[in-house]
A and B are shown apart, each in its own frame.
Chain A
Amino acid sequence: MSKTQTVEPLVAPDVLERVLAKGRSTGAEFSEIYIEDKRSTSAGLDDGKVEQVTSGRDRGAGIRVVSGETTGFAHTSDLSERGLLAAAEAAALAAKQGGGGVHKVQLGDVLRHSVNTIKLSPDAVEKSRKVELLKRVDAAARAVNAAIVQVSAGYGDSRKRILIANSNGVLSADEQVRTLLRVSVVATGDGGMQTGYDSLGHTIGFEMFDENDVEELAIRAAKQAVTKLSARPAPSGAMPVVIKRGSGGVLFHEACGHGLEADLVGKSASVYRGKMGELVASPLVTLVDDGTMTAEWGAIGIDDEGHPSQRNTLIKDGVLTDYMWDYLRARKEGRAQSGNGRRQSYQHLPMVRMTNTFVLNGKEEPDDIIRDTKHGVYIAKLGGGQVDTASGDFVFGMTEAYLIENGEITEPLREGNLIGNGPEVLKDIDLLGNDFAMGNPGTCGKDGQGVPVGDGQPTLRVRSLTIGGTAA
């Protein structure tokens, strides 16, 4: 899975060794440097006009020093040896525990672990081609229906080179490319305005647009807004909910994903603490977090601590089999990391984060799941969500939903949140489809940091979820 090769890193290995040694100068047992050089391009179209093309450059290093239970951290945008040594000294002082002395750090060859193949690097593509995509999206969305009164579209790409070295001898590098297109639509009718949204994002280059039809994306968002113009208020109360494939991964992200992060478990701030080996979900559920899933939004070659990404089964046939781990939490438990140590940028400390989190296929035909539901709600598109990991209570928004009456999808519903309790909802999954799909690209927020994540699931049914509508 990994290949070793020597290439020119962002900072010379001998400088890294001196910086890491400086990090341990106050007696700390571990020091680490994370270096990032990121270039990004974004373009926004709104109200029929390309408003602005933006170019960005972010470059710097974060230095972490660990002494016992204490972490010291400093970051700098100055990548000279002097700048790095100053940051290392600041981090070392922050974690100072007495002791000290002279340390020597030796790094091996650079580990490179690639999970994505970039055919057309975004910086090799003319900006005019990127802007052109937005104009196509705008035209396609507006052509759907005269009720479409506003379209906003955004394009973004980034190319991030990272290098991580630590005093244990780890030296890893990765180049992470992301390409994203999003569209928001407003439709207006007698009952007011409604909105539609869709997005497309992969860890590949501009070839994403050879493989995906941007007009289709625009049309989906526009139809969503138009459909909702005739939507009736969502019901209130608990009822069966069927979630379309590829649209409900956020349910698992919130219902159990966060609760399986070892830092939260370690502080007993998760409802899943002490549940290893126990049945925590319906036996239909097998949940995987997989950073190696090629081209998906949460795919990474190495995590932000230099550990190769991997595929981790968290729940197997309903039984909790593992949590997700970063360096610190794994060290404490004397076990291996799982490739889940991630950070937003060089200005942030790493912590346990998800990558691509999804539920594997079941056996049911998706149509049968709907047909089997007498009265309930069918969700075709979910919005974001939020969870309290300690109680397990979570919410998530439905941005496109329909009523199910006598086994058939009928009227569209207005937007709202759904609320449930993670462990209860996982056990309440009673039908699982055979039509797995990944969902839209997402950004997961935790402790003030956002990282890109993916999610996915087949069509499934939850026996009972509370719909936060206004209709009695």
Chain B
Amino acid sequence: MSVGVPELQSLADSVVEQAKPGEQIEAYVSRGGETSVRVYEGELEHFVSAQSEGVGIRIIKDGRTGFAYAGTLEPSAIAEVLAEARDNIQFGTVDQWAGLAEPDGVAQIPQKFWDEELANYPTDKKIEITKELEKLTLAADARVRSEQSNYEDGWAETAVSTTTGIRESGRGNSCYVSVATLADDGDEAQTGFGFSVGDSPKEFDLNKAAREAADRATRLLGATKPASKSVTIVLDPYVTSQFVSILSSALNGENLAKGRSLFRDRLNEQVADPRFTLVDDPTNPLAYTATDIDGEGLAARRNILIENGVLKKFVHSSYSARRMNTKSTGNATRGGFMGGPGVGCLAMQVQPGNKTQAELISAIDDGVLIQDVSGMHSGVNTISGDFSTGASGIVIKNGTLGAPIREFTIASTLQKMLLNIVDLGNDIDWLPMRAVGLSLVISDVMMSGS
């Protein structure tokens, strides 16, 4: 990482130094803080100022793994965590592939994760920005009310050390603003939201966030339920980002090893339309989830996963790589000190097409622009591929946008949707999510309504 945190690193080192013969130890320590400001109707609703810290220790001996964590860095607690992790080893099953990552010589690509201006940003200015965002939102449309206007920032320092020679530490901070809106029309109310992210508050685009929050809430007023039929859909960049994110599970090398990937046995086969190329690239500083190391401390790297529709690669941690007799792709994930590493894509990017969204729409006779989806967690099965979500959007008729519609579902299978990609937009949006957004056109999707 670009900026080391010697104090945390030596704390992690001190745990690893206690390894007994035959033990592999990994210590992951972190601490951080956050500020959360919420404004409602011009008044400060809450102000949260909080700090937290913790340690997670993983020990592997004779192929068995034990883990323990505590939400504190007190020396006595760390000793207790080490003892608990050690005690937990005996209950694991021997796994010939169990082990920690080892340095693989891949160089890190330096990026900037710390903003000094944000670190020193005054509290009253944070409150001011939050109030300003609410004011701009209300001014954007007379039908719009505020539900909440938020400012959030956070900083974190982490360090990981292992007996296998990994020693990495670093720190980062970030901030964003968001606003939730309501729009009324008689008895009917619809909701919207807008947000803006930046390295520091001076990068916020409050006007854009306010405009989007107002538009999202008002554009569905008067929307009706459509009749069921098969249609071509255009996914708005924000929806595409969610759609692409769910592919991470199918491209996960551990899921592949355990027979849980719908792309099982499909390597080097055509799994998507040739127009579709998908890359995981956390080294791209434009990506919101850009990072220089993965969850095990290996250098993050660029991996081409699907190229011109052909499945080229699964992503791996050191564990899944050993199982599949390959090398880690630098794709270990980690949710913090409370758990060990998993596997997943880190920053997914779709190669853009060359049309604007308006141009994509003008080529469609009978379709729907999907502006929002719901129930991605309940109606999409990444193992079977069954895909069904709630949706709202705008009818496309003879190349132009028509009336708003809501309370319907769109359904297909992930396998079929990838093959039915008809076109892609050039409207890349680096959203604060794991995957980039752009307009994506998919044909032959079942719209279910009245």
Interface residues of A (CB under 8 A from B): 43, 45-60, 68-77, 90-91, 94-95, 127-128, 131, 149-150, 186, 188, 192-195, 228, 234, 236-238, 267-269, 271, 347, 349, 383-386, 388, 390-391, 393-397, 414-421, 466-472
Chain A positions within 8 Å of B145 at CB level: 268
Task: With both chains docked as a complex, state the minimum distance between the C-beta of A148 and any C-beta of chain B, in angstroms.
Answer: 11
Taken together as a complex, chains A and B put the C-alpha atoms of A449 and B87 apart, in Å, by 31
Q: Is the CB of B450 within 8 A of A52?
A: no
In the bound complex, do residue B390 and residue A349 qualify as a contact, i.e. CB atoms below 8 Å apart?
no
12 A-B pairs (CB sep. < 8 Å): A45-B93, A48-B93, A57-B69, A74-B48, A186-B259, A383-B378, A393-B406, A415-B381, A416-B409, A417-B411, A419-B375, A419-B407
Q: Which residues in B have their C-beta under 8 angstroms from that of A268?
A: 145, 182, 189
Measured between alpha carbons, how far is A105 from B72 in the docked complex, in Å? 29
* A237→B46 contact, CB < 8 A: no
Q: Which residue of B lies closest to A72 (CB)?
A: B47
Contact B449 A150 (CB under 8 A): no
Q: Which of A72, A95, A131, A386 has a CB less than 8 Å from the CB of B378?
A: A386
B258 to A416, Cβ gap below 8 A? no
Given contacts A70-B47, A267-B182, 7 further A-B contacts (CB under 8 A): A56-B70, A77-B71, A395-B378, A395-B389, A396-B375, A415-B379, A419-B408
Chain A residue, CB-CB nearest to B72: A77
- Tell yes or no: B388 within 8 A of A by CB: yes
Contact flag A57-B47 (CB < 8 Å), given A50-B91, A390-B189, A395-B379: no
Tell me whether A71 and B407 are in contact (CB under 8 A). no
Q: Do B191 and A468 touch (CB < 8 A)?
A: no
- Contact bitstring B92-123, A, C-beta under 8 A = 1, else 0: 11110000000000000000000000000000
**Contacts known (A55-B88, A59-B71, A397-B379); A415 close to B450, Cβ less than 8 A:** no
Contact A236 B448 (CB under 8 A): yes
Q: Knowing A70-B43, A469-B448, say if A43 contacts B91 (CB, 8 Å).
A: yes
Flag if A466 contacts B448 (CB, 8 Å): yes
Residue in B71, B225, B340 whose beta carbon sits within 8 Å of that of A52 in the complex:
B340
Complex A-B, nearest 6 residue pairs according to Cβ-Cβ distance, in ascending order: A468-B409, A397-B378, A417-B379, A236-B448, A395-B375, A416-B388
Which residue in chain A gives the minimum CB-CB distance to B379? A417
Q: Nearest A residue to B261 by beta-carbon distance? A: A193
Q: Do A393 and B390 contact each other (CB < 8 Å), given the known contacts A77-B53, A388-B374? A: yes
Cβ-defined contact, B383 with A466, below 8 A: no
**Candidates A193, A194, A467; contact of B448 at CB < 8 Å:** A467
CB distance from A146 to the nearest CB of B (A): 14
B446 at interface by CB-CB < 8 Å:
yes
- The residue among A68, A238, A415, A420 with the most chain B CB atoms within 10 A of its own CB is A415
On whether A391 and B188 interact (CB within 8 A), knowing A385-B378, A386-B375, A466-B448, the answer reads yes
Nearest CB of chain A from residue B375's CB, rounded to whole Å: 4
A186 touches B91 (CB 8 A): no
* Minimum distance in angstroms from B415 CB to a CB of chain A: 8
Contact mask B328-355 → A, CB, 8 Å, 1/0?
0000000000111000000000000000
